[in-house]
Structure 1
Amino acid sequence: MVLEAFADTIVPGEKRGADDPAIAGVDTGGGAVASGAIELLEHPAGGLAPALDTICLELDAYARDHADAAGLDLDPDLPPFVALPFEARTALIQELTSPDHPDKQLWVGLALFCNMAFDSAPHMHTVDALAAGHPGLVAMRYASPDPDGLWRFPAFSYGRPLANLHPSTTATGSPA
C-alpha cells in the first residue's frame, strides 16, 4: 500500500474504489499503479525488490516526521505515508528528492521506476501492454502494431525522410 501511494503521487490516477486509501484519486484514468509500477518495482531486473520493505519503513518514518511537523493527524489504521493527504505526500516527495537530501538518489530512482511503468511499460511486452489497454501507452497514443505484431511506419514521423536510403539497403531495411 505504501508503494502504491508513492507511485500514485508520482503519476496520479483514479481510485479503484471508494475504500482505496493508497490511490488519492486526484486524476482520471489510470496512473502509475494501474500501469504496473508495483510489478516493475518488484521485478528482479530492477534491483530494488530486495530493499522494498526497508524503503517502505523509511518512507513511513519520513511521513510520521512530516505529519508531526505539519500538525497533521494521521489515521492510525493506515501506514503513515498512505494516511497523508495527497498535498502532504507531494510535499514530502519534493523534500525527499530535493538536491540537498542525503538519500535523494534512492527517492529519485524510485520515482523514475514509477514514471517508467507509465511511460513505457518495460515490465511487459509492448504488444501485450497495448492489448491490455495500458494507461500510459494509451494516453500517449502509442501506435499499435500491424496485425502480424510488427510495427511499420509508412509515414515519416517528421513528415519527410531524414536521410536518403543507402543504395545497398535491402527491402527489409537491412544493409547489404
Structure 2
Amino acid sequence: MTLDQPAQKQDTVSALEAFADTIVPGEKRNPDDRAVAGAASGPGAVAAGAILLLQNPATGLTESLDEFVRALNAHARAHAAEHGISLDPQVPPFVALSFTDRTSLVTVLTAPGHPERDLWVSLALFSNMAFDTGAHLHTAEAMAAGHPGLAAMGFAAPDPDGLWRFPDFSYGRPLARLHPDTAPSGSLA
C-alpha cells in the first residue's frame, strides 16, 4: 500500500515526536496523542520544539529525516517481532510501541558498539537541545513565550531591555577586573 505524501509526512513527524518524547518525556497533548506517551508530567521535548529543531537545516540532518524514520521503524518492527509485540498498523511502528519498549529500543540503538549509534545519539542530542536550550529560537523570544525547558531549569529572564546582566557572580567573586574602557553597557568604549 502506498501512502499519500501528506500521510507520509505526518508519519515521519509522529515517529520523530515519539523518538524525542522517549528522550525527554512529557505529558500527552490530548487524550488521543499516540506519539507523546505521557510518561511524565509537564512538557517534554515535543512541547519544547524538538521537531522544529530537527527540521532546521542548520542541524545537517534535515535531508535525511525520512531515511532515519524508515530505519527507526524497521528497528521497531524487529523489536516487536523479537518480543512478541503486536503493532497497530494505523500508526508508524515506533509510535505503536509502548513507552517502555521505545525506551528499551533506544537504549539498544544508542549503546556503545551499536553500528548506527552516532545517528541515534545525534537525534537524541537534538531532542535534548530543544528542551534544554530552545536552540531553534532566539533565547529572548523563547523566554517570552515561556519555553518549557528553559522555565523548568529556572533560566533567568532578561532585563526589561532584553539583555541579560548578572549582578551576582556565579563563582561568588569576579573572575577578572573590568577593563578601564568598559562602558556601562558592558561593551568596550
Shorter-chain TM band: over 0.9
- The match for 1:116 among 115, 118, 129 is 129
- The match for 2:61 among 38, 48, 72 is 48
The residue identity in structure 1 corresponding to 2:37 is A
Q: CA deviation at 1:166?
A: 3.9
Q: How does 1:43-122 map to 2 (within 5 A)?
A: 43-122=56-135
**Aligned-pair Cα RMSD in Å:** 1.3
In the other structure, the counterpart of 2:138 is 125
* Structure 1 gap ranges (5+): none
- The match for 2:27 among 14, 17, 25 is 14
When normalised by structure 2's length, the TM-score is 0.89
Instruction: String of CA shifts for 1:23-74, please: whole Å, max 9, x gaps.
Output: 0101111100000000000001111111111111110000000011111111
In the other structure, the counterpart of 2:5 is none
Q: Partners of 1:16 and 1:139 in 2: how far apart?
A: 18
Question: What percent of counterpart residues are identical?
Answer: 63
Q: State the SS of the aligned residue for 1:92.
A: helix
The residue identity in structure 1 corresponding to 2:57 is P
Count of paired positions: 176
Q: CA deviation at 1:167?
A: 4.1
Q: CA deviation at 1:107?
A: 0.5
Instruction: String of CA shifts for 1:94-150, please: whole Å, max 9, x gaps.
Output: 111111111111000010000000011111011111111111000001111111111
Q: CA deviation at 1:164?
A: 2.9
* Structure 2 gap ranges (5+): 1-13
Q: Partners of 1:167 and 1:16 in 2: how far apart?
A: 53
Q: CA deviation at 1:171?
A: 3.6
The residue identity in structure 2 corresponding to 1:140 is M
